[in-house]
């Protein structure tokens, strides 16, 4: 196979795959809108039932719904979905945000555990430093308001200076380097 034939073969196959992807996307678009509006219809109907039934009838109706093991959460999600989407959904740009809720109540996606997945980031030096300094400064102010420096014994003042001075020297050296870096930029 020549280079030209190879390139033509790739071009033809890639165009076929792209056309297939486009057809699938548009099929998904239609099904997604249908799913969203079906979910909305359940929520609207639940809201009507809730509004028109006595509280005891509403509780009894909920108990009889076949909405899966997380029925109560599904009912609430349907109601929230209908409230957030009072009109029929015709635009996937708007509907996209609601698609996850729709997939959860229909069982395609699981409901989140607790408050959903938590992403914890390791604190960087600056956030650690700011938190630590804020805490230390607050504690120092509290103690100084209870026991002003003027009331310290000479031994207590000496101990404070001896324990604090190495830290202050290190901090001043770091501050000097940081200022040099700022001025260099």
pLDDT truncated to tens, each residue of the chain (185 aa)? 888 988 899 899 988 988 988 888 888 888 888 988 999 999 999 999 999 999 999 999 999 999 888 889 999 999 999 999 999 988 887 777 788 888 888 887 888 776 655 666 677 887 878 888 888 888 888 888 889 999 999 998 999 899 999 989 998 999 999 899 989 88
Written as six digits, the tokens of 165 are: 């001075």
DSSP states of 39-76 = HHHHHHHHHHHHHHS-HHHHHHHHHH----TTHHHHHH
pTM exceeding 0.75: no
**Alpha carbon distance 104, 74 (integer Å):** 8
**Alpha carbon distance 110, 155 (integer Å):** 64
Cα–Cα distances in angstroms (integers) from residue 139 to residues 72, 135, 146, 160, in the given order: 47, 6, 11, 14
């Amino acid at each position: 196979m020549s280079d030209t034939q190879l390139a033509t073969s790739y071009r033809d196959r890639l165009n076929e795959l792209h056309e297939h992807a486009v057809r699938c996307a548009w099929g998904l678009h239609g099904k997604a809108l249908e799913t969203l509006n079906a979910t909305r219809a359940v929520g609207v109907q639940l809201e009507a039932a809730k509004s028109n039934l006595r509280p005891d009838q509403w509780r009894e109706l909920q108990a009889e719904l076949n909405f899966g093991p997380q029925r109560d959460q599904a009912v609430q999600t349907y109601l929230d979905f209908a409230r957030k989407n009072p009109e029929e959904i015709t635009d996937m740009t708007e509907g996209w945000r609601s698609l996850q809720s729709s997939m959860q109540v229909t069982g395609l996606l699981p409901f989140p555990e607790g408050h959903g997945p938590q992403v914890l980031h390791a604190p960087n030096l600056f956030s650690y430093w700011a938190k630590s300094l804020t805490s230390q400064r607050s504690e120092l102010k509290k103690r100084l308001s209870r026991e002003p420096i003027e009331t310290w014994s000479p031994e207590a003042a000496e101990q404070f200076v001896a324990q604090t001075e190495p830290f202050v020297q290190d901090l001043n050296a770091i501050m000097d380097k940081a200022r040099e870096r700022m001025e260099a930029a």
